[in-house]
Amino acid sequence: MSTLSSTADDILACARSLIIAGGYNGFSYADIAAVVGIRKASIHHHFPSKVDLVRTLVQLYREDARAGFAELARSAADPREQLANYAAYWEKCIIEASDPFCVCALLASELPALPPPVAAEVRLHFETLSAWLTSAFERGSASGLFRLAGTPQAEAETFMAIVHGGMLSARAQDDPRLFGDITRSWLNRLAS
Amino acid sequence: MSTLSSTADDILACARSLIIAGGYNGFSYADIAAVVGIRKASIHHHFPSKVDLVRTLVQLYREDARAGFAELARSAADPREQLANYAAYWEKCIIEASDPFCVCALLASELPALPPPVAAEVRLHFETLSAWLTSAFERGSASGLFRLAGTPQAEAETFMAIVHGGMLSARAQDDPRLFGDITRSWLNRLAS
DNA sequence: GACGATCTACCTACCAATAGGTAGACAGAG
DNA sequence: CTCTGTCTACCTATTGGTAGGTAGATCGTC
């Protein structure tokens, strides 16, 4: 049970999809108002400023991501399978177009222009993601499952780049399948 | 020699660095006017609308890119070295912070919110890049230089994802070295 | 159970600043 | 004289944000 009213949830969900489409400066309170069916001013009741709104949005996103990592860890004993499940999760989001881009990846691309409170939150997501991926590669390496080309750290960074670059390619080339093709082919190479 | 006046060049250069920082909606004519030292209205003399400005910008970027690919093809006989030079070019741009992100990669991330004429131009860049990379992998594979995991097409897509994802990671983690680490480690795996 | 007090979520009606864009004057160069 | 590049001055729409008000739910207190 969330502590947020359903309207606040609606606003967040709407803002999220608008950010995924066009970034921080790609939407306005008026856009949200039109979709949610509320007046512009009412949004300020829930989120005093745009920075508040987006900071909250990213904080919740990070919470969900952390919960997702815990879920993935439970989803399989094999870290390779965990990574495959992670990629499969995004593949599904992209193919169904339900959530075709990582909010933080999109915001990160415009980091220099982001209000500092939002920028800080976005950077934290990358830390969390990098740490989780690194731990997965460490476990895979220690158990002899992976044939790593470098340190677990380096492999994690490579995989992260593949994932975010794959999202971009799928979008730019208007081919949702591309993401899965790219991530799967890379993960297949890991098998030792 | 360009057919554009030096002021037009200044405007384009300024717009470019502003786009690299914050995307299409991350800058205004007023921002450019302040930097170039000209009045807002004067920009409209050179570029009637913002769409004109950015479309022209991306067109010139694509020309430069195509010239760059030709240059890379001349830079080495070995396609692996050509790819390494391509990555090294971006590594330099990122470390020197002279041009720390690909304009088209940034614009592609906000593709759904881009004015259609700009969006079309951005997509064309991805086609060009994908085609050039594919040809490099084809040549490398045909000459027995590479040990490819998949088709040259697929390898090209993977490399492109690595490059764009690497740019994003370098930015998000505020670590310019990251880009080179990621791309180099992947290219090293190619050696057969 | 009735009373006012407070709180929540929304509203209308504003605001100053900024967005992209236009009209027309003017100075200098060919 | 004309053409290019710039200017001042202006326009309309939109931006994020505020002020003040209101209907209705919830509260403690008697």
Q: On the CB side of A59, how many CA atoms lie within 13 Å of its CA?
A: 8
Q: Nearest CA to B103 among A97, A172, A81?
A: A172
Between residues 27 and 86 of chain A, which touch chain B (CB distance below 8 Å)? Answer: none
* CA A58 to chain CA mean position, Å: 10
Per-residue pLDDT band at B1 (split at 50, 70, 90): very low
For strand D, is any atom closer than 7 Å to the CB of A28? yes
Q: Which residues fall within 8 angstroms of residue A101, CB to CB, at 6 or more apart?
A: A20, A94, A167, A171, B109
Chain A touched by B22 (CB under 8 Å)? yes
3-state secondary structure chain B: CCCCCHHHHHHHHHHHHHHHHHCHHHCCHHHHHHHHCCCHHHHHHHCCCHHHHHHHHHHHHHHHHHHHHHHHHHHCCCHHHHHHHHHHHHHHHHHCCCCCCCHHHHHHHCHHHCCHHHHHHHHHHHHHHHHHHHHHHHHHHHCCCECCCCCHHHHHHHHHHHHHHHHHHHHHCCCCHHHHHHHHHHHHHHEC
For strand D, is any atom closer than 7 Å to the CB of A181? no
Q: Is the dihedral of CA A19, A21, A26, A31 positive or negative?
A: negative
For strand D, is any atom closer than 7 Å to the CB of A40? yes
Q: Is the pLDDT of residue B192 over 80?
A: no
The tokens for A64 are 């969900």
Q: Is the pLDDT of residue A136 over 50?
A: yes
Q: What is the pLDDT of residue A1?
A: 35
Q: What is the pLDDT of residue B12?
A: 96
Q: What is the pLDDT of residue A52?
A: 96
At residue A191, what are phi and psi to the nearest 5 degrees? -50, 130
3-state secondary structure of A85: helix
Between residues 162 and 181 of chain B, which touch chain A (CB distance below 8 Å)? Answer: 162-166, 168-169, 171-174, 178, 181
Encode pLDDT of A93-118 as tens digits: 999 999 999 999 999 999 999 999 99
Q: What is the pLDDT of residue A2?
A: 41
| Residue A146: DSSP 8-state | B
**Chain B contact set for A186 (CB, 8 A):** 158
CA distance A81 to A190: 11
Q: Do A113 and B171 touch (CB under 8 A)?
A: no
Using the C1' atom of nucleotide D19, identify the protein residue whose alpha carbon is closest.
A41
pLDDT, average across residues B13-17: 97
